[in-house]
Amino acid sequence: MPQDREESLTLELLTAIEARSDVTQRHLADRLGVALGLANSYLKRCVRKGLVKITQAPANRYLYYLTPQGFTEKSRLTGQYLSASLDFYRRAGASVVRALDDCQARGAQRVMFAGVSELAEIAAIRGQDFPLEIAGTYDPVTTRGVFAGKPVWSRLDAAPACDAVLLTALEQGNEIYRELRASYEESRIVVPDIVGSLLTRSDH
């Protein structure tokens, strides 16, 4: 697992324990979005590192507390996360503006996003500065029906006609890009450089 993903999960776990000492491992797993076994593994790792202390409570329950070292590590990870987030928003904002400029240069008037993500949120905000109509977002896995005030389609054949599609997926970019290429001419697919750097070479 990449280091930044590990640190993100550790921060989430420490935050959950700080907020509630009687948190259950199932609740931790749900909050972290991982399997119960993996949440348990992370919890044990934090205990071994001296970040978390466990005490037994009545009725076979356990209470979890952050140690002084745990509080220090949580502060460090929080600062690191905020710094990375600000850097992402700066880079993503500039990348989206370049991509929207590209849409305009191609003569597009109606644009659809492909992928519900933080990048799509940024694109929706920056798109207000352009004479473009944002039709909505295509995303095959989200359960949302509306995103950024516009409709979401889980099937490409259900989406309305548009002049350009802006790839905004961050986690499933390769899969969605392949789907777009099977349905649209290459000239109608716009890939922000911040997303292009995440695609595998075979998909370029």
Task: Please tell me the number of Cα atoms within 13 Å of 78 on its side-chain side.
Answer: 9
Rounded to two decimals, the pTM is: 0.65
CA geometry: angle 87, 91, 94, nearest 5 deg: 145
Residues of the chain with pLDDT under 50: 1-2, 201-202
- CA-to-CA separations, 186 to 12, 135, 166, 190, 201, in angstroms, rounded: 40, 19, 12, 8, 16
pLDDT at 136: 96
Taken in order of first residue, the domains within the chain and their CATH numbers are: 3-66 (1.10.10.10), 90-203 (3.40.50.720)
